[in-house]
Structures are given as structure tokens and as C-alpha cells.
Amino acid sequence: MEPVVIKISGSLTDQPEQLALIFDYVEQALQQSRSVVLVHGGGKQINALSHRLGIPPKQVQGRRITASEDLEVLKYTVGGSVNINLVSALRERGIQAVGINGTDGELTRSRKREPLLIDECEVDFQLVGEIEHVNPTLLHVLLNAGMLPVVGCLTWSPDQGLLNINADTFAINLASALAARELVMLMEPEAVLDRHGRPVHSMNPEAYETGKKDGWINAGMVPKLYTGFRALKAGIATVRLTNPSGLVRNRGTLLKID
């Protein structure tokens, strides 16, 4: 079994028309006896709830800093409303979906991320994890039973307990452990756009570094592409960045090493 792992950004999870396209793809895949795993974050919902609670979100180069109060927000969003709403919408389409996160069934074991040197400053991301081990048994059980796992990006550490984790990194680790045939990282544009706003159909690490230097690869796209290239190095055969329309039409930016 070589599933397709699809990572959905939080900005897409509350857009019914975009979700409908994702679910169209999922239905078609299941009808063709291809397995699918959905992985989701919840950045938009996390930020919205944080602001309502008077907790300003903190990010450095697209990476979230997670203090204890931020982790409580993640429980209500990534571990709660975002996951539940996705599963409910899938059930309305007749798809047997099961909502879980990285703490369930010993799916992931992590350690706290070490401080990183960014722009010559040491940044402590606090309650953010780096996965050390994935136990895909629960996912295999669900997939073999014809279920669609919907996995929220929370993880667990023996020393720290519950931790936040970057959803793209989380998806890569699950895809690698499952020997996925493809990892699709969904976003709002259909492809990565170059400095002139034109879609980039394929990208290698050299083009990525050039884009960063020239400034047209910036903000959240920097860690997204970085983790995408990591996925290829982890042995995942195909990594594609696109939006729900591109998912259905097999378009987007295909990452490659050469």
C-alpha cells in the first residue's frame, strides 16, 4: 500500500469550494482503490482564536513560536474544530473519515526543537517538536479498513508532553513512514510563482536558493519549499506543491533534486 499524502493548509479548510475539489480528488482516488491520508494544520484558525483571546501570534520566517498559552489554542483548533469540521464534511460526502492527531496510537514521538540561529539571532520556538519516530500502525489499520485518516499536526514528547509541530514537516514524516507514492502540499496559488508572477512548473534546490536570494521566494514559502526538498531526500518519490484546482487537474510545482 503506497498512499497519497495530502497536506491541507489551514487557510483552505474553511473554504467550501476548495474543500469540494479536494474531496472530488479523494473520491476518485478511493474509487480507483488508491489510499489517501489527509494531514492538516490550522494556521488561520490558530491566529484568529489567538487574537480573540488577546494572545498575539508569534512567528519567525514563517515558523510559529509556541508558548504554553499558544498550545492551548492549538488544542481547540488543530486538535478540535479544524479536525472535526474536516471529518464532518467528508462524512457528508459519504467518505468514511477518522480524525486523529500525532499523539493517538503512539503515532509520533518527538523531542523539543533546539533553538535555531536565524539572521544571526538565536530563536527558541518553545513548545515545538521535531519528530524522532513514526509508528504507522494506526494509519495502516485505518487504511486497511477502508478508512480515510485525517491527521492534525500535534505530536508528543516523553519529556515535554504535547508539542506543536510544523504541518509540512509532520506530513513529510508520515509520508516517509508510509512509503507514500506522492506527497501533495496544498496552498492557495496553483504553483510557486516566479518574480514575474508566472507559475514555476518544476524546481530544484539551486532555483530555490536563487529565488530566496532574489526575494521572490519569501515568508511562509521558504520553509514550505525547504521541507519539500527534505521529503525528496527522505525517499518520497514525488513532491508537488499546488492548490485544490491543481490537485484535480494534476498541475502545480514539481520538486526535483537534479
Size of the chain, expressed as the number of residues it contains: 258
Closest listed residue to residue 36, CA positions, set 86, 97, 91: 97
CB contact set of 149 (below 8 Å; sequence gap of 6+):
37, 38, 97, 98, 100, 138, 139, 142, 143
- In whole angstroms, give the CA distance from residue 122 to residue 218: 20
For helices 205-214 and 221-233, the axis angle rounded to 10 degrees is 170
pLDDT in the model for residue 221: 86
Please list the pLDDT of the chain residue by residue as tens digits (258 residues): 789 999 998 889 889 999 999 999 999 999 999 999 999 999 999 999 999 999 999 888 778 999 999 999 999 999 999 999 999 999 999 999 999 999 999 999 999 998 888 877 888 899 999 999 999 999 999 999 999 999 999 999 999 999 999 898 899 999 999 999 999 999 888 999 999 999 999 999 999 999 999 999 988 788 889 889 988 988 898 999 999 999 999 999 999 987
- What is the rounded CA–CA span in Å between residue 192 and residue 174? 23
**Residues 107 and 100 sit within 8 Å (Cβ to Cβ):** yes
- The domain segmentation of the chain, as residue ranges, is 4-255
pLDDT at residue 179, rounded to an integer = 93
- Which pLDDT score is estimated for 168? 87
Strand partners, 231: none
- The CATH number corresponding to 4-255 among 3.40.1160.10, 3.30.1330.30, 3.55.40.20, 3.40.50.300 equals 3.40.1160.10
Confidence at residue 170, expressed as pLDDT on a 0 to 100 scale: 95
By C-alpha distance, which of 47, 153, 46, 62 is closest to 99?
153
pLDDT recorded at residue 11: 86
Amino acid at 174: L
pLDDT given at position 235 = 87
CA distance 18 to 11: 10
